[in-house]
Chain A
Amino acid sequence: MPLLELEDVTAFYGPVQVLDGVSLTVPEGGAVGILGANGAGKTTTLRSISGTVRAGGRITFDGSSIRGLRPERVAALGIAHVPEGRGTLGDLTVRENLRVGAYMRHDHKAIARDIDYCLDLFPQLQDRIRSNASALSGGEQQMLAVGRAIMAKPRLMLLDEASLGLAPGTAKTVYQAIRRLRRESGIAMVVVEQNANLAFTLVDSATVLETGRNALSGTTAELKGMDEIRRAYLGG
């Protein structure tokens, strides 16, 4: 049984249909990419999973339907959404942001260990641990956003454009850390990314969305070999 399964998912913003039958399967511990142009429905697909947008169709996590659940209920089931724009809590310090991430947990020793793990994964955050999140650079905020998601000890992480607005070197560093996280934790991931080259370093398979529908799907190796993918997303 797959960990997450989307089948024929639809979603509207007002009268505008954004998702028109999206399907997606994420196995336990797997990482699946969602590629596509602006407005193709990538972010909305993640939002339909985390309960921040009303969706139709079938969305199951670990065998039971999560469609229509409120975001905090979805989070409690083990899905951590790292939203577009990072969603760090600006007036709280880096450490407080991480502690908010662990809100649902009560294992104090393990929480302290996981904070150390986040700081090991993102050493830049160590020096900023007492700074307000709003004072961090874009890259540091992205790292903090991922760190906060780690603190929830999720089974599935939804990553929305983790490279957006970052310098190429910083984006690479962030993805390197996420690859290490995946290796060491086995957390399954859904990765939305404009930069297909970066996404392919992390995911096993991917689907390309076009106007709210799956246009193409395949393993990373298959997709890398396709001409239309190379032309549209890999810059050559």
Chain B
Amino acid sequence: MGTFIQLVIDGLSTGSIYAALALAIVLVNQATGLVNFAQGGMAVLSAYIAWWFTGLGVPLILAILLSVAASFVFGALIERYLMRRFERGDPDTAVVVTIGLLTLITGLCGWLWTYNNQQFASLFSLDTVSVLGASVSIRSIGTIVVIVVMMGLLQALFIGTKLGLALRAVAVNPQSAAFSGLPVGRLLMVGWGLSAVLGAVAGALVAPQLSLTPGMMDNALVYALAAVILGGMSSPIGVVVAAWLIGVLENLAAVYVPFIGYDLKVAVPFILIFVVLIVRPQGLFGRKSVVRV
């Protein structure tokens, strides 16, 4: 029983990192209708910025906050000076541009800070506490709490605020939204900026566990996309639950299903995706888009 609980909580903790990235992807998608593949690369850059600040002697929490602020500006600038050129065209082109951006940022990080592993201090202590007979690290619990808070804030933003409503309106139909006076360009910049902030948090959570490298987020990005598909693009709570599900199932399958083991556990989320796409194409929690003809 102790092992089981430990596996579940560790799974929730890894799932939380996928969730942070997945939330960033959902945010950009809700605001622009695009899937931003560069989200992982942007998160890595944010983590390097925080790491660079700690190297200057800035305390960790302050360094992360500074990187969060820098990431907001960076995200907004990417929208303004790169993505906007592709907004009116084919959405597929814009998605390919984000893939190019991912490669570019990864290369840039490697060029600036080398491809060697860098040590990134953890925000949370590695001490363990006993939960129902299992020993669980404070870091795992802290990671989970951070994600729950972010999910709540994002859900509140989309559903409960004028800004969130405006972001969604612009995503559905920018031109029509402008007829109601919505400042489309500025809203798109805010959407990209906020998603970069979520990525920065994901980066700061993952860097201490995997150690900082330019490709640190590559795996997490794949899992995050899986969570987005599972949870449904329109639901922040849905993608977080899906990310947790992936983290937990992956851990449990590795231990309890001998056939899968640690080598095949990466396949678990994809089997889940296949099943969900066949049974519920809008995702577990997504709203079905109904179009009347």
Binding site for B on A (CB under 8 A): 50, 52, 70-72, 75-76, 80-83, 87-92, 96, 99-104, 132, 134-137, 148-149, 151-152
CB-based contact A72/B289 at 8 Å = no
CA distance A71 to B184 in the complex (A): 10
Of B2-10, B50-58, B175-183, B191-199, the one touching chain A? B175-183
Provide a sorted-by-A list of 21 A–B residue pairs whose CB atoms are within 8 angstroms: A71-B178, A75-B178, A75-B180, A80-B179, A80-B180, A83-B179, A87-B179, A88-B176, A89-B169, A89-B173, A90-B291, A99-B162, A103-B169, A103-B181, A104-B181, A134-B289, A134-B291, A135-B290, A135-B292, A149-B179, A152-B181
Report B-chain residues with C-beta under 8 Å of the C-beta of A101: 180
Q: Taking A91-B172, A92-B169 as contacts, is the C-beta distance between A134 and B292 under 8 angstroms? A: yes
Q: Say whether chain B's binding surface is mostly helix, strand, loop, or mixed.
A: helix
Asked if B168 lies at the interface with its beta carbon under 8 angstroms from chain A, I say yes
- Cα A102 to Cα B176 with chains together (Å): 14
CB neighbours of B140 from chain A (8 A): none
Is there an interface contact between A87 and B292, defined as CB atoms closer than 8 Å? no
Query: Would A89 and B178 count as touching, CB distance under 8 A?
Result: no
Contact check, A72 vs B234: say whether CB atoms are below 8 A apart: no
**Which of A83, A103, A137 touches B292 (beta carbons < 8 Å)?**
A137
- Cβ-based interface call for B78 (8 A): no
Q: Do residues A103 and B168 form an inter-chain contact, with CB atoms below 8 A? A: no
Assembled-state Cα–Cα distance A80/B182 (Å) = 12
Chain A residues within 8 Å of B166, by CB = 100, 103
B290 touches A72 (CB 8 A): no
In whole angstroms, what is the CA distance A89 to B166 when docked? 11
Are A132's CB and B179's CB within 8 A? no
In contact, B180 and A83 (Cβ under 8 angstroms): no
Query: Contacts A87-B173, A92-B169; is A71 near B179 (CB within 8 Å)?
Result: yes
What residues of B have a CB within 8 angstroms of the CB of A90 in the complex? Answer: 172-173, 289, 291
Q: A91 contacts B180, CB within 8 Å? A: no
Residues of B within 8 A of A52 (CB): 175, 178
Interface check B165, CB cutoff 8 A: yes
CB-CB nearest 6 A-B residue pairs? A87-B176, A75-B181, A71-B178, A104-B181, A89-B172, A100-B169
- How many Å lie between the Cα of A88 and that of B291 in the bound state? 12
Residues of A within 8 A of B165 (CB): 92, 96, 99-100
A72–B182 touching, CB < 8 Å: yes
Q: Are A100 and B178 in contact (CB under 8 A)?
A: no
Q: Which residue of A lies closest to B175 (CB)?
A: A52
Within the assembled complex, what's the spacing in Å between the Cα atoms of A82 and B166?
18
**Which of chain B's residues have a CB closer than 8 A to the CB of A82?**
179
Cα distance A39–B172 in the bound complex, in angstroms: 28
Complex Cα spacing A96 to B169, Å: 9
Residues of A within 8 A of B175 (CB): 52, 71, 83, 87
B184 x A72 contact (CB < 8 A) = yes
